[in-house]
Structure 1
Amino acid sequence: MSDEFNPDRPADMGPLYHQEAWRRLGSEQFDIVVVGGGVVGVGAALDAATRGLRVALVEARDIASGTSSRSSKMFHGGLRYLEQLEFGLVREALRERELSLSTLAPHLVKPLPFLYPLTNRVWERPYVASGIFLYDRMGGAKSVPGQKHVTRSGALRVAPALKRSSLIGGIRYYDTVVDDARHSLTVARTAAHYGAVVRTSTQVVGFLTESDRVLGVRVRDTETGETAEVRGHCVINAAGVWTDEVQALSKQRGHFKVRASKGVHIVVPRDRIVSETAIILRTVNSVLFVIPWETHWIIGTTDTDWNLDLAHPAATRADIDYILERVNEVLVTQLTHDDIEGVYAGLRPLLAGEDDETSKLSREHAVAVVTPGLVSIAGGKYTTYRVMAADAVDACNDYIPTRVAHSITERVPLLGADGYFALVNQCEHLGQRFSLHPYRIRRLLNRYGSLIDDVLVHADDDPGLLEPIAAAPQYLRVEVIYAALNEAALHLEDVLARRTRISIEYPHRGVDCAREVADLMAGVLGWSAEKVAFEVDTYRARVEAEIASQREPDDASADALRASAPEARSEILEPVPVPE
């Protein structure tokens, strides 16, 4: 590893970049400071940087460590929102889906066939078909096929796992799937590539103000406790479910409130459900997705109010039982708790409304100028992150002393997108070049795109890095090195939960490979033996707390157990209570 930061490769967000970013935060004047490293925050940083603005982004924990790594893994228009008459949202989301699928992130956003089982005769087929027809006409069938009607026998041929009695026929259509954490990270690295200063483990603890004008933020390094002042002509609060907490630091009254809705998903082995297609099931309150995820299925989600710890929402036994009961209503072979390999819970940042049912709250987003120099953005859905980001930056225009160009991110492919399609056609050749099976090459291309050379070059001097991680063989050891050296991973949890998805893809939840991964990271990050032991122990405590919480019957008891686990970022502060 070079002993100095390389300014020619700003997207290599390793330990030296992290140090340099801290210096720059405290010494430069920025046009925009973005608070929050979820997909909207990193999207805003990318949008601002590609307009030629000087932009900094700060995140208290890790990129996508909140909501943006815990979604249903879909990059979709939102078929169910048609039923809520949110036509504008669906049309906008489908346009964004098409952009990412074809141009912006084809290595990360993938088409996925779905089966919609029909259960009622006469009225349901024309009703659902008209909705999917509208979905296709709004943009859902540009790069993917349109809907196709099937009989009950036709549906069972593609999804033999379904009970014959659970449907009378079906409709097949296409949507898309994405690794949300990897996508958010790639947006962040693309923003850094275009000049944004992106720094994780950097918590906002206050605002810089003059009269009622916001002039920047005070930040605290959540690794060391060190503080600094970051000056910006405008601050964007893109903190997701923490929007109100960040707002409270400004001592200004917000224009809207954010309500957290908990969504729980379970992960089961691929052989437990025999189907060639994803499945969407209607429930009383919402829908349930059964989504193929490499050698697994992701099943979810729930939709319940959450008023407890925002950083670590806990899944309960009741949440898991609900998902199992709903999916088992239609499956021939019943799933049990023993089949579950992983569980995760995330929070949707919904705009608070008068309706008590979170599933009916709008997924539209809102942007508001809270006070001169402070813009808040909230609501929306993952798929429309780019539009939300552009709207937030537009709202800063009046506070930036130079002319602000229009958003161009619809023409800016993410890192790894350029050349991806050609490389897919060269899998056999690449496999021979790197002595890897073409399956491995395809998998790496679908994680890193055309950055695959940057990943594998780290194994030039140590071919052993091309070996799989012993207890998580889907991943290569070199991917851990790359995560620490190029992808801003500072802790074991960052790698096991977000740079890879080992924490939800294996029954051991990452515990069995924690030591191996920590030892690999230690060589890059300079960890001592004591630091390695701390990282492993902290991660194990996290997993134990999560598993224990998932046995609890209610949110309060589950939250108490999950919140008892130690934080890897030991200097993080509890958020300021939001005044009623």
Structure 2
Amino acid sequence: MNYYQQRAALLEHATQVEYGLIVIGGGVTGCGIALDAQSRGIPTLLIEMHDIASGTSSRSTKLIHGGLRYLKQLEFGLVKETGRERAVVHHLAPHITIPEPMLLPIIKGGSMPKWMASMGTLIYDFLAGVKKSERRKVLNKADTLAAEPLLSGLNVTGGIRYYEYRTDDARLTMALACTAKAQGTTVLTYTKVVKLMYQAGEIIGVKVIDRFTDKEYILKSEEVINAAGPWVDSIDEQDADIRKNKLVLTKGVHIVVDFKKFPIQQAVYFDVGDGRMVFAIPREKKTYIGTTDTKYTGDYKEPGIEEADKTYLIGCIRTAFPGVTLTVADIESYWSGLRPLIRQRDSKSPSAISRKDEVFQSATGLLSIAGGKLTGYRKMAERIVDIVAERLKLAYDIDTCQTEFHLLSGGDIAKHGGLDTFIAEMLPVLKAFGLDTNTAARMIRLYGSNIHLYEAELKHIDERLASINLPDWQKAQLQYTIKHEFVCKPADFIVRRTADFYFRRAEAEQYASELIKAMQLLLGWTDQEYALYNEEWLLFLKK
């Protein structure tokens, strides 16, 4: 049985267990906490009301970075911690965390003069402990324009080349969830917390509803952590003691265009003239640009994109790259996410609000965590699990934090000589099944050392899919994600497991109808369920 078919039994079983910890929220923070706690010896239950990484954790700039711009805000501690975490995350998941050279052009009259950029990146390298081969290099005007000819026509005075790490945020979060599950964590997706449960003034668990059946369950634990991202405040409203209204939500939009229309030679981090900086990053024959940073009060699940967001980002490109003639009509896809930032007493512009995380403790025992960055997920988890470990030290034999050394699912490729060597080693294996070179390489990057599990699916395509008009490599990919990655609905696969919706939008729209038919066969949907999930997907497309 696959995960979708096991969910009901998992929920029933969870009612019979008293966990050491319940974690609310299946984003990168919640999954990081679940892995940390379970690997220390605390029996953990992870609850997510939608899909893993369905919120902010699949809608970032897709960089593991220290946040160079935070030096402007003098947040040296944040830059040091997240900068050093880049190397840790790269070690833990080398298949989905890739060194990315970044060009920072210096513009005459811009907000960051050359001396400031040079000093800032020097401090950045020092704080982040950057290895010698990736330390920043100061470029003159000619070298900067040679590195990125599209800057020609702009008043460039020089540039800085430095390194960040590109990732797939949803894949990183999935790797955390899979690793936590392998350690013993119970993972429940599409399970919504509807009530916090208390006894004698202390939190003892949660009431949840299965979003597929509408059946309610009571789940108990010694400790509860609310790591629900933008939803932290709405859950905390039920608690009698914890601080309320502590979040400010800001929206970040990224747009995707065809690489041929914006053929940058490398990732660029550039000044846009209003005090903000924007990234342009090439990926898989596309270029994505972002991000905006505006305060937000609307629907949390799908923040959407406004015309103002589109025109702002297109305007940023046309200003910084005079020869590029992008228009709003060139936008092929986009993503829009919410940052759950900690409210501060003084009113600040969204970009000036600190990205530091904070833990909130209630007299009832409830713990909540918010703020922070994708890069800092592991240290955030460590800090809050330290509190839980202290509380539970008499109940369980608890280890210290192990996550700095615990490879994530798919990350065991160093023994093969690194990612490039591993790709070269596995390409002939996959090409023997008829995959072209680009598709095979993409599969290897997606699954890393788990590629043998994908290979097993290639060898055994489910005979029920014989009538489905999809290539075998894609049928195998669907089988793999259903068996090993909690796939329950079309968007789980198309948007978050593959990123096809963002970077292969036309192909995704073309194959979606056949994929949904295949999902009905593999997951055992009724015709009514098929109609519901198909309509849900079509509605998602319209939005």
Q: What TM bracket, shorter-length normalisation?
A: over 0.9
Q: Does 1:406 align with 2:400?
A: yes
**Pick aligned residue for 1:355 from 338, 347, 363:** 347
Q: Distance in 2 between matches of 1:121 and 1:200?
A: 50
Structure 1 match to 2:296: 306
SS at match of 1:436: coil
- Displacement of 1:509 after TM fit? 8.3
- Structure 1 residues 464-514: Cα deviation after superposition (integer angstroms, max 9, x where no partner): 9999x989x998332122222221111112111111212222454843322
- Displacement of 1:104 after TM fit? 0.5
Q: Distance in 1 between matches of 2:460 and 2:227?
A: 42
Structure 2 match to 1:394: 386
Structure 1 match to 2:284: 294
SS at match of 1:116: strand
Structure 1 match to 2:478: 480
SS at match of 1:299: strand
SS at match of 1:364: coil
Structure 2 match to 1:190: 179
Q: Does 1:23 align with 2:12?
A: yes
Structure 2 match to 1:68: 57
- Structure 1 residues 504-563: Cα deviation after superposition (integer angstroms, max 9, x where no partner): 22454843322111122122101234433332222111211x2xxxxxxxxxxxxxxxxx
Structure 2 match to 1:33: 22
- Displacement of 1:99 after TM fit? 0.7
- Displacement of 1:356 after TM fit? 3.1
Structure 2 match to 1:343: 334
Structure 1 match to 2:451: 452
Structure 2 match to 1:272: 261
- Displacement of 1:371 after TM fit? 2.6
- Displacement of 1:182 after TM fit? 1.0
SS at match of 2:50: coil
Where do 1:195-234 residues align within 5 Å?
A: 195-234=184-223
- Structure 1 residues 299-357: Cα deviation after superposition (integer angstroms, max 9, x where no partner): 01110010111111121001111111111102212111221110111000100112231
Q: Distance in 2 between matches of 1:519 and 1:539?
A: 12
Identify if the C-alpha distance between structure 1 residues 511 and 252 changes in structure 2 by more than 3 Å, giving closer, same or farther: farther
Structure 2 match to 1:80: 69
**Pick aligned residue for 2:360 from 353, 368, 384:** 368
- One-letter code of the match for 1:111? P
Q: Does 1:320 align with 2:318?
A: no
- One-letter code of the match for 2:99? P
Structure 2 match to 1:494: 492
Structure 1 match to 2:441: 442
Identify if the C-alpha distance between structure 1 residues 198 and 507 changes in structure 2 by more than 3 Å, giving closer, same or farther: closer
CA contact (8 A) 1:255 1:368 kept: no
Structure 1 match to 2:250: 261
Q: Distance in 1 between matches of 2:117 and 2:472?
A: 38
Q: Does 1:135 align with 2:129?
A: no
Q: Distance in 2 between matches of 1:475 and 1:269?
A: 25
- Displacement of 1:183 after TM fit? 0.9
Between 1:444-453 and 1:504-513, the stretch displaced more is 504-513
CA contact (8 A) 2:333 2:501 kept: yes
Q: Distance in 2 between matches of 1:463 and 1:118?
A: 55
Structure 1 match to 2:460: 461
Structure 2 match to 1:7: none
- Displacement of 1:255 after TM fit? 6.5
Q: Distance in 1 between matches of 2:49 and 2:285?
A: 33
- Structure 1 residues 66-122: Cα deviation after superposition (integer angstroms, max 9, x where no partner): 100111111101000111111111110011110111x21101111111111111289
Identify if the C-alpha distance between structure 1 residues 500 and 428 changes in structure 2 by more than 3 Å, giving closer, same or farther: closer
Q: Distance in 2 between matches of 1:464 and 1:268?
A: 38
TM-score by length of structure 1 reads 0.87
Q: Distance in 2 between matches of 1:524 and 1:398?
A: 44
- One-letter code of the match for 2:530? V
Q: Distance in 2 between matches of 1:470 and 1:250?
A: 51
- One-letter code of the match for 1:410? E
Q: Distance in 1 between matches of 2:536 and 2:244?
A: 39
CA contact (8 A) 1:189 1:415 kept: yes
User: Structure 1 regions of 5+ residues with no counterpart?
Assistant: 4-12, 547-580
- Displacement of 1:16 after TM fit? 4.2
Q: Distance in 2 between matches of 1:176 and 1:487?
A: 24
Between 1:497-506 and 1:236-245, the stretch displaced more is 497-506
Q: Distance in 2 between matches of 1:196 and 1:127?
A: 47
**Pick aligned residue for 1:164 from 131, 153, 173:** 153
Q: Distance in 2 between matches of 1:67 and 1:92?
A: 21
Identify if the C-alpha distance between structure 1 residues 427 and 459 changes in structure 2 by more than 3 Å, giving closer, same or farther: closer
Structure 1 match to 2:166: 177
Q: Distance in 1 between matches of 2:469 and 2:497?
A: 17
SS at match of 2:270: strand
**Pick aligned residue for 1:385 from 369, 374, 377:** 377
**Pick aligned residue for 2:534 from 528, 536, 547:** 536
Identify if the C-alpha distance between structure 1 residues 459 and 428 changes in structure 2 by more than 3 Å, giving closer, same or farther: closer
Structure 2 match to 1:120: 108
Identify if the C-alpha distance between structure 1 residues 333 and 67 changes in structure 2 by more than 3 Å, giving closer, same or farther: same
**Pick aligned residue for 1:109 from 97, 106, 112:** 97
SS at match of 2:348: coil
- One-letter code of the match for 2:169? D
- Displacement of 1:136 after TM fit? 1.2
SS at match of 1:377: strand
Q: Distance in 2 between matches of 1:195 and 1:173?
A: 39
Q: Distance in 2 between matches of 1:207 and 1:156?
A: 57
TM-score by length of structure 2 reads 0.92
What is the identity percentage for the equivalent residue pairs of Structure 1 and Structure 2? 33
- One-letter code of the match for 1:451? N
Structure 2 match to 1:574: none
Q: Distance in 1 between matches of 2:472 and 2:401?
A: 38
Identify if the C-alpha distance between structure 1 residues 537 and 391 changes in structure 2 by more than 3 Å, giving closer, same or farther: same
SS at match of 2:154: helix
Identify if the C-alpha distance between structure 1 residues 466 and 293 changes in structure 2 by more than 3 Å, giving closer, same or farther: farther
Identify if the C-alpha distance between structure 1 residues 440 and 506 changes in structure 2 by more than 3 Å, giving closer, same or farther: closer
CA contact (8 A) 2:64 2:375 kept: yes
Q: Does 1:14 align with 2:3?
A: yes
